[in-house]
Amino acid sequence: MQACYINRYGNADVVCVGELPVPEPGPDELLFRMEAASVNPVDFKTRKGMLRALQSYRMPAILGNDAAGVVTALGPGVAGFEIGDRVAARLDKARMGAFAEFVLTRPQDLAKIPEGVSFAQAAAVALAGLTAWQCLSEVLRVGRGERVLIHAGGGGVGHLAIQLAKELGAQVTTTASAASHEWLRGLGADECIDYRQTDFTQVCAPFDAVFDTMGGDILLRSIAHTRRGGRVVSIGDMPTPEVAGELGKPWLAPVFWLLARRPRAAARAQGVAYRYWFMREDGAQLAMLLDKLARGDLQLRIEREFPLAQAPEALRLSEAGRVRGKLVIVA
């Protein structure tokens, strides 16, 4: 089968497209033919080796973390799915493998795609949608009437988070380039701030909750601009110590304690609850997001589609940033 993979960690030049064996499903696994896969920042971070402490891979490692397609083979013990089912998945972190003609996964990470939702939409909503939903509903616990700041609202996670936060009853402020403001207001954003021209801390009152996608100085300023007793979650900075236990690697907790010391100290001084979030695979939550797409309750922007042979170009574009919505690989 054709696949996009790496033989070693490194810069964009290490990405290959070529023939690899078709995987065989073992017990409690199934195989589906990829019709679409989504490009996410975690893909180029994996290629660089930035996430080796969290998850290392045997080489060659097929890139890609979420995909949609048609079931072609069932391993022993698989129930609830049949050959021919249209499915989508955020793949198990330990395996990846979405950028290939055939994808191996676990039933618990899968959801059936409802009528009216395309393969491209289903793939594109998986990782980004799960990240947004878990951060808003489980970590920030956004409540009705709360003031929520979502950074990078025009990105893949951000534009979904705006809509989900509004559904939870929040008053949503987002940072984005001016070119995206009209679109983001149409998705429900109450206030849009051009990060190139305006410092959000100078024009907004302190927030009840902040969804940070950037890390670094933006995260520190966000913590300082959150009310005492508020909550901040980041997907753009260094993991916090509790992530080590959640990943089954408690020996990494002291490392993460050191790496995340600045935002953790800032949060303590501000009286703010803060943590990093590394989303988890969840087929039931993915099914819920797909149903929202089918009903028209969730809008998803696909900026551009690439054939599998051009997956390296899609990864370069993702790494360069400034993508509005999602990039998708199609079979």
Class of 2-112+301-330 in CATH:
alpha beta
Q: Do residues 184 and 192 make contact, with C-beta atoms less than 8 angstroms apart?
A: yes
pTM of the full structure: 0.94
Report the share of the chain in percent with pLDDT over 70. Answer: 100
- The first and second tokens of residue 262, run together, are 């600045």
Identical fold for domains 2-112+301-330 and 127-276, yes or no, is: no
33-71 tens-digit pLDDT: 999 999 999 898 899 887 777 778 889 999 999 999 999
pLDDT band per the 50, 70, 90 thresholds, residue 321? confident
C-alpha pair distances (Å), 232 with each of 95, 169, 227, 236, 329: 30, 18, 10, 12, 32
Residue located via tokens 């995909």:
67
- CATH for 127-276 is 3.40.50.720
Tell me which amino acid residue 166 is.
Answer: K
Spell out the domain ranges in the chain: 2-112+301-330, 127-276
